[in-house]
């Protein structure tokens, strides 16, 4: 583990920067870079503490926590059930093809969302009906790939939230995802005390990166933020595909 410290620092610094600027991307970026030097399961376990703390920060600094919790609770329940079911049923499945397919889906979504006629908000009456299904599918996908973005991010983006509300809603959702995944890893013995300490070490660079990324987000306009958000989303998808190809 000691020989991997420079890579760990760089992976979490970059992952935190992307997350601070766009509200997402820490697990995918950091896990992808860490997988260059260690098994994917070990990389996923290292993500737990930085992802949990940065998502708590992202959740706590937003403008409407209670309101969002009332809107999102069906989604959050679905996330937990989907993650735990997926971890139990899909253990040992080769995640690389699934991760590459997920990357393609992310890129297509980012491109479609950039079109001027693509913006549309989900009617409020459908939120609690669709939320559990979206959460369960996101959890199942994350159990294989370790990435909680599809269809979670499009759903949250369709709620009609402003910039800060969107980032906070993503923080709430990803925090739930992280806790559910950590419990699944602990149940299989893949999140031990030693791994937890290594994950704690990775927290510092993640927080530094997130602080810088948050500053970037706060000084740009809402229109520029949407462009940065979609660009970051597209690059995340391209990165997942590149991992499979190369």
Best CA proximity match to 32, nearest among 99, 120, 130, 121 = 99
More confident residue, 124 or 168: 168
What band does 68 get if pLDDT is binned at 50, 70 and 90?
very high
Examine the pLDDT at 180 and tell me if it is beyond 80: yes
Output the pLDDT for position 243.
77
Q: Could you give the number of structural domains in the chain?
A: 1
- Residue 232 and residue 167 in contact, taking contact as beta carbons nearer than 8 Å: no
What band does 91 get if pLDDT is binned at 50, 70 and 90?
low
Mean pLDDT of 103-119: 71
- Residue 18 and residue 213 in contact, taking contact as beta carbons nearer than 8 Å: yes
Q: Which domain holds residue 90?
A: 2-245
How do residues 8-44 score in pLDDT, each as one tens digit?
Answer: 888 899 888 888 887 777 877 787 777 667 766 677 7
- Residue 79 and residue 41 in contact, taking contact as beta carbons nearer than 8 Å: no
- Residue 170 and residue 54 in contact, taking contact as beta carbons nearer than 8 Å: no
More confident residue, 3 or 51: 51
Helical residues (DSSP H) of the chain, grouped into ranges? 5-22, 26-34, 40-60, 65-89, 95-113, 124-145, 152-157, 163-187, 193-201, 203-218, 222-245
- Tokens describing residue 227: 């462009």
Q: Is the peptide bond before 151 cis (omega within 30 degrees of 0)?
A: yes
């Amino acid at each position: 583990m000691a020989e991997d410290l420079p890579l760990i620092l760089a992976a979490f610094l970059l992952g935190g920067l992307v997350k601070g600027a766009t509200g997402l991307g820490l697990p995918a970026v950091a896990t992808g870079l860490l997988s260059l030097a260690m098994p994917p399961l070990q990389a996923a376990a290292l993500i737990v503490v930085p992802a949990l703390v940065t998502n708590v920060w992202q959740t706590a600094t937003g403008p409407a926590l209670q309101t969002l919790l009332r809107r999102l609770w069906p989604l959050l329940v679905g996330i937990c059930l989907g993650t735990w079911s997926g971890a139990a049923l899909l253990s040992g499945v080769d995640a690389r093809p699934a991760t590459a397919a997920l990357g393609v889906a992310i890129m297509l979504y980012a491109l479609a969302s950039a079109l001027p006629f693509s913006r549309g908000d989900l009617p409020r009456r459908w939120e609690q009906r669709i939320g559990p299904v979206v959460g369960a599918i996101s959890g199942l996908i994350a159990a294989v790939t370790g990435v909680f973005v599809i269809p979670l991010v499009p759903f949250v983006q369709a709620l009609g939230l402003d910039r800060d509300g969107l980032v906070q809603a993503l923080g709430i959702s990803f925090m739930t995802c992280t806790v559910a995944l950590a419990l699944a890893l602990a149940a299989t013995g893949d999140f031990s005390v030693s791994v937890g300490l290594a994950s704690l070490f990775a927290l510092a660079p993640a927080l530094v990166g997130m602080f810088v990324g948050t500053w970037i987000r706060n000084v740009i306009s809402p229109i520029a933020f949407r462009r940065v958000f979609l660009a970051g989303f597209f690059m995340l998808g391209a990165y997942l595909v590149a991992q499979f190809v190369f």
